[in-house]
């Protein structure tokens, strides 16, 4: 079955009713859908993992509103390309014509001067800017541009979304529906795709083409069939470079798993693949807080120094700094107690709502506040022995809750002993 157009392109939705996933943005009465249907869309940035529909959504908006659509890739475009596109957009401006859309894929890869070149055109309404990024825009997009654009977060596709994508492909694609295809097991298809719809289409197409070449009348897709074919054709189904995300995942899990050998190996894979050193350093910062945490608080300091040094030095010397930080984090004791504590605290807040602050720890800047009890009976810790006095600092209904639970490592064992001495009876577990 020799077909030039990839399955992912053939199955690309052309309107919101065909679009799968992101119900929080484009479902009925959702914020972005209302903006699209009203025709009054702002410039915005779509932030989410690969293969969840960022490019597709931008094209749907242009299609539904009949707007001219320009696209740039931040990987291949420079300031000159941006200026040329702005001039093209200006020529599209007529009295009643809607503003063109400029879609910039991987906008986080634009440097400051490239992003600066967009500002005036966005302000003047020469085009509506839609940027797509897999990176947190707060880190990678300059503040002036960020202030002129909304940020919409796209979520990973759910299992049901991915199954719907597969079923639609074999039942609606003009080529596949002519074949007798049966998916008996979905698990391997979903697992190898990693929630990436584009990769999922690539995998499905590769499996079908391989099985169809055997001149079989019926194509039955099972976990074993998928695994066997993909093990022989890794590069084929990863033809758009999504393996980048698999490698960073392997790197993170190797550091978390305290394997310095694997961690440095995956680091080398990223370096040889031309990865942005800031991307790697940022992941190390997150790892230091999430996976090492209070077991070794110095890890966060070292990771932060690593990030600063990488920004100052660049390639090739940054590889040495990244190697040192990677090995240090991989060989450090691990704790995710701080990560769990903030997760549990946020969950508790969502569950219990806006509970009142106890009167004795409220601020009392006015006489009236003092008269009604604000700050009354507050115990100033430094007035007591060892600068500590047991008191209640939580909302009354939550005063017995333990959110931070020290884990079993030398640093947190010391913390636990201190808490047990200070908070008598509370940490005896």
Q: Are residues 221 and 101 in the same domain?
A: no
Q: Are strands 101-105 and 69-73 parallel, antiparallel or unpaired?
A: parallel
Q: Are residues 142 and 197 in the same domain?
A: no
Are the beta carbons of 285 and 307 closer than 8 angstroms? yes
User: The domain that contains 101 carries what CATH number?
Assistant: 3.40.50.300
Q: Are residues 189 and 146 in the same domain?
A: no
CB-based contacts of 380: which residues, under 8 Å, 6+ apart? none
User: The domain that contains 201 carries what CATH number?
Assistant: 1.10.8.60
Give me the domain span that covers residue 224.
159-237
Per-residue model confidence as pLDDT tens digits over 233-287: 654 444 445 566 778 888 999 899 888 888 998 898 888 777 788 889 999 999 9
pLDDT at 94: 65
What average pLDDT does the structure give for the chain? 83
The residue from 88, 121, 153 where one domain ends is 153
Count of domains for the chain:
3
Distance CA 143, CA 162 (A): 35
pLDDT at 56: 92
Q: Are residues 106 and 227 in the same domain?
A: no
Q: Are residues 302 and 198 in the same domain?
A: no
pLDDT at 239: 44
pLDDT at 322: 94
Residue 13 maps to a domain: no
Residue 103 maps to a domain: yes
Q: For helices 54-64 and 31-38, what crossing angle results, to 10°?
A: 30
CA distances from 134 to 45, 160, 174 (A): 10, 22, 32
The ranges of the chain with pLDDT < 50 are 1-2, 235-240
Are the beta carbons of 102 and 89 closer than 8 angstroms? yes
Residue with tokens 């600063």: 308
Q: Are residues 143 and 165 in the same domain?
A: no
Q: Are residues 71 and 55 in the same domain?
A: yes
pLDDT at 1: 46
Residue 377 maps to a domain: no
The residue from 153, 187, 205 where one domain ends is 153
Q: Are residues 135 and 200 in the same domain?
A: no
CB-based contacts of 310: which residues, under 8 Å, 6+ apart? 277, 278, 280, 281, 318, 321, 322
Q: Are residues 104 and 169 in the same domain?
A: no
Residue 419 maps to a domain: no
């Amino acid at each position: 079955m020799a077909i030039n157009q990839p399955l992912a392109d053939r199955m690309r939705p052309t309107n919101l009713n065909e679009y799968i996933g992101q119900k929080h943005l484009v479902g009925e009465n959702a914020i972005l859908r209302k903006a699209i249907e009203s025709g009054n869309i702002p410039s915005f940035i779509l932030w989410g993992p690969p293969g969840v529909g960022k490019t597709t959504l931008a094209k749907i908006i242009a299609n539904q509103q009949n707007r001219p659509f320009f696209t740039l890739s931040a990987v291949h475009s420079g300031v000159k390309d941006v200026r040329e596109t702005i001039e093209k957009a200006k020529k599209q401006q007529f009295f009643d014509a809607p503003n063109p859309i400029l879609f910039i894929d991987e906008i986080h890869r634009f440097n400051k001067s490239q992003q600066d070149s967009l500002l005036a055109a966005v302000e003047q309404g020469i085009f509506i800017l839609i940027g797509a990024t897999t990176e947190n825009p707060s880190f990678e997009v300059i503040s002036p541009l960020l202030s002129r654009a909304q940020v919409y977060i796209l979520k990973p596709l759910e299992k049901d979304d991915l199954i719907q994508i597969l079923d639609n492909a074999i039942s609606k694609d003009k080529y596949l529906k002519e074949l007798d295809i049966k998916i008996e097991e979905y698990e391997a298809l979903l697992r190898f795709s990693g929630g990436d719809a584009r990769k999922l289409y690539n995998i499905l197409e590769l499996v079908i083409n391989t099985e169809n070449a055997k001149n079989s009348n019926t194509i039955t897709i099972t976990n074993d069939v998928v695994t066997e074919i993909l093990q022989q054709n890794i590069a084929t189904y990863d033809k758009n470079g999504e393996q980048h995300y698999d490698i960073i995942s392997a790197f993170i899990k190797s550091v978390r798993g305290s394997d310095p050998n694997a961690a440095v190996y995956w680091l080398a894979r990223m370096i040889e693949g031309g990865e942005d050193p800031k991307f790697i350093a940022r992941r190390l910062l997150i790892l230091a807080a999430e996976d090492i945490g209070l077991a070794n608080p110095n890890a966060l300091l070292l990771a932060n120094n690593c990030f600063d040094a990488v920004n100052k030095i660049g390639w090739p010397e940054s590889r040495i700094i990244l190697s040192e930080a990677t090995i240090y984090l991989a060989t450090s004791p691990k704790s995710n107690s701080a990560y769990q504590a903030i997760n549990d605290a946020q969950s508790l807040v969502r569950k219990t709502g806006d509970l009142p602050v106890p009167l004795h720890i409220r601020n009392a800047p006015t006489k009236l506040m003092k008269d009604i009890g604000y700050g009354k009976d507050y115990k100033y810790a430094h007035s007591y022995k060892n600068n500590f006095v047991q008191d209640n600092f939580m909302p009354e209904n939550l005063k017995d809750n333990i959110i931070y639970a020290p884990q079993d490592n030398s640093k947190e064992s010391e913390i636990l002993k201190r808490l047990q001495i200070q908070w008598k009876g509370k940490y005896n577990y």
